[in-house]
Amino acid sequence: MWESKNIETNTIHGGKKSQGEFGTLSTPIYQTSTFVFDNVQQGAQRFAGEDGGHMYSRLGNPTVEELEARMALLEGTEAAAAFGSGMGAVSSAVLALLKAGDHLVTSHRLYGCTFALFNHQLPALGIEVSFVDLADEQALRAAIRPNTKVIYGETPINPCMTVIDLDTVAAIARQHDLTTVIDNTFMSPILQRPASHGIDLVLHSATKYLNGHGDVVAGILCGPGELIDRIKMTTRKDMGAVMSPHDAWLVIRGLKTLHLRMQRHGENGQLVAEYLQDHDAVEKVYYPGLPNHPGHALLGRQMRGAGGVMAFELKGSFEQAVAFINKLQMCKRAVSLGDAETLIQHPASMTHSTYEPEELAEAGISRTLIRLAVGLENAQDIVADLGQALSVAR
């Protein structure tokens, strides 16, 4: 297994174990549910953990394991675990770390399904959850209790692009012997590597930038070998949130162009954000690449770029926001991000519809907030489409 000091090269070559029986350049897809044993003794040894061979694809598959090795290398961790969805990774991680009576501290802004899991499912299991502003050091410190076990966050946060200082979060966690989990979906390892800032577990919806083509639903969790192994053999195994070999192959394929795509997403994102900021129909733009964004100071120290996702508030009404989105021609009305196409959605009625009105207000998600995931098209075409649609919001 070969690796480079440069992440751009590692997206192509790093973590590749073998070319299979026939020396294929592309990673083989081991599309099998089960594996044959030479004899009963060998099967018993594998189930006892005494043999490194494979047993059943829910427990481990060579194609999936190659993706895991690649992602661990890219994120700079000892190991990684692949899941059937990003939410499979989220739920498997927190349920492996928490039990009834424990306490989780998380952000008051989160992806809608993560918020629903934390706000509804975890309390039903006897797990306490506090939602605070993780960008506020004092608020984070004040939220920690004797039974706190985990700090969970996203950075930038979906959808308002709040940036969390990972060094600060990791330092506070170490003081209290807490496990940190950070969703790195919006940045990818090309633009941000949370483990290098002391974060324990790094999470991705591999559906997004890692795959990059809108044809996979998948999740990745990267972290210490012992903890990842425990998650694989408990919550992932028992809840069955596993990735298929074919989906693993599709994500591996996407990784080969990840560094090029992230560069283009970022270049387009910066141009579009600057255009929106200057438009008279736009009240405010949330994008770390703009100097007036509170997280802009972390560019260079924590993030190598601002990425391709942003949010913006229109000056008009909810009805005008709806009319604006409906008037777009090239930009696609769809949730998700990281695809070649530019995608736009309305968080309050789509991805964050699990929030109650007062929860939306607390999270700063208004009815005129729009999230834009800038694609790989020519930036001037994206701007032109936004411009013709913004005419209804003037």
Euclidean distance between CA atoms 94 and 89, whole angstroms = 9
Give the pLDDT confidence score for residue 347 in this predicted structure. Answer: 86
What's residue 343's pLDDT? 97
Sign of the C-alpha dihedral computed for residues 309, 313, 316 and 322 taken in this order: positive
Q: Residue 129: enclosing H or E segment and its boundaries?
A: strand 128-132
Tens-place pLDDT, residues 304-362: 999 999 999 999 888 999 999 999 999 999 999 999 999 999 988 887 877 778 877 77
Distance CA 346, CA 369 (A): 7
Contact 34, 56 (CB under 8 A): yes
- Active-site residue flag, 287: no
Residue 84 has what DSSP assignment?
S
Query: Yes or no: is domain 259-393 CATH 3.30.1300.30?
Result: no
Active site residue 371: no
Given a contact cutoff of 8 angstroms between Cβ atoms, the answer to whether 302 and 192 are in contact is yes
| Catalytic pick among 30, 70, 111, 165 | 111
Q: Helix 318-327 vs helix 379-390: angle between axes, to the nearest 10 degrees?
A: 140
> Which residue in the list 51, 56, 58, 264 is annotated as catalytic?
58
Look at residue 52 in the predicted model and tell me its pLDDT.
Answer: 83
- For 319, the token pair is 């009805």
**Looking at 16, 46, 193, 208, which residue is catalytic?**
208
Tell me how far CA of residue 242 lies from CA of 88, 95, 219, 327, in angstroms: 8, 15, 9, 39
Whether residue 232 lies in the annotated active site: no
Domain 7-30+61-255 annotated CATH 3.30.70.20: no
d(CA 212, CA 167): 28
- What pLDDT sits at residue 4? 83
CA separation, residue 141 to residues 90, 136, 137, 173, 200 (Å): 23, 9, 6, 9, 18
Token pair of 163, please?
């940036």
Say how far apart CA 379 and CA 53 lie, in whole Å: 49
Which residues in the chain show pLDDT less than 50?
none
pLDDT of residue 365: 81
Single out the catalytic residue among 102, 133, 165, 183.
183
pLDDT for the residue 316: 86
| Every domain range in the chain assigned CATH 3.90.1150.10 | 259-393
Q: How far apart are CA 104 and CA 94, in angstroms?
A: 9
Maximum distance among all Cα pairs of the chain, rounded to whole angstroms: 74
Domain with CATH 3.40.640.10 in the chain: 7-30+61-255
111 carries an active-site annotation: yes
Residue 372, strand partner residues: 310, 344
Rounded distance between C-alpha atoms, residue 297 and residue 288, angstroms: 9
State both tokens at 40: 């009963």
